[in-house]
């Protein structure tokens, strides 16, 4: 089994990777810019943990109204009603649309919670200076990063699939405040993931006695 602590890292060797174009620069100054694209070079993302926590906590706060406020206001002939995410899931299930109910529940409830919980776990372990399974934690971050590219599909799933519960020939629908809150949760989760620097995971095994820092190692 490979010893993860013996894997050489770029920062001690004087190598800095550009976050914009990926160019690896050797022995760059602290305030240097990428010679290829001009992007500011950083050994580690500045204030990575702080910014990730700020976005993530905001997402956790908005997750509650996203699930409690109506996501859709519907009209059909002389009827009017509003649906939250969970009421839409229940209505889909009662109507026999089990596959749609599972899709909406997974995309709108399970996936956001798992994303926020996984990122919170990564942040806590980095702050504690944990050296536990750095490869697996890095893979977990890459999965979160990949899912983030498709996160806005959650919003469309909520808006479109909940509407399918009731609509027949004559109907009208308007988005509710829940959609705005849910969209904000998705965007904030994406920003929290983008702000996190996975290289901090690999800093811990080298310096297990100290807490992880957002500042570049000296």
| Token pair for 32 | 């240097």
Choose between 163 and 173: higher pLDDT: 173
Sign of CA dihedral 25, 26, 31, 32: negative
pLDDT for 59 beyond 50: yes
CB atoms within 10 A of CB 27: 9
Choose between 130 and 11: higher pLDDT: 130
Give the C-alpha separation, 168 to 29, whole Å: 65
Check: pTM over 0.85? Answer yes or no: no
Q: Which pLDDT score is estimated for 33?
A: 77
Counting DSSP H helices and E strands in the chain, the numbers are 8, 5
The domain ranges of the chain are: 1-43, 47-203
Backbone angles phi, psi at 122, to 5 degrees: -60, -40
pLDDT band at 188 (very low <50, low <70, confident <90, very high): very high
Give the residue from 37, 46, 43 showing the smallest Cα distance to 15: 43
Average pLDDT value for the chain: 76
pLDDT tens sequence across 133-157:
888 988 999 998 888 766 666 666 6
């Amino acid at each position: 089994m490979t010893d993860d602590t013996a894997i050489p890292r770029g920062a001690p060797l004087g190598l800095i990777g550009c976050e914009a174009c990926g160019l690896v620069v050797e022995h760059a100054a602290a305030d240097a810019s990428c010679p290829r694209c001009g992007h500011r070079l950083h050994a580690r993302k500045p204030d990575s943990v702080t910014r990730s926590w700020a976005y993530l906590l905001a997402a956790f706060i908005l997750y509650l109204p996203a699930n409690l406020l109506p996501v859709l206001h519907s009209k059909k002939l002389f009827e009017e009603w509003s649906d939250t995410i969970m009421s839409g899931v229940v209505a889909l299930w009662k109507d026999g649309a089990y596959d749609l109910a599972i899709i909406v529940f997974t995309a709108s409830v399970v996936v956001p919670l798992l994303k926020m919980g996984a990122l919170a776990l990564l942040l806590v372990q980095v702050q504690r200076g944990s050296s536990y399974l750095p490869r697996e934690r890095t893979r977990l971050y890459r999965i979160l990063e990949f899912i983030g590219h498709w996160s806005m599909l959650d919003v469309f799933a909520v808006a479109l699939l909940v509407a399918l519960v009731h609509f027949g020939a004559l109907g009208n629908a308007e988005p509710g405040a829940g959609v705005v809150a849910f969209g904000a949760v998705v965007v904030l989760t994406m920003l929290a993931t983008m702000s996190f620097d996975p290289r901090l995971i690999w800093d811990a095994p080298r310096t297990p006695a100290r807490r992880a820092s957002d500042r570049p190692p000296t």
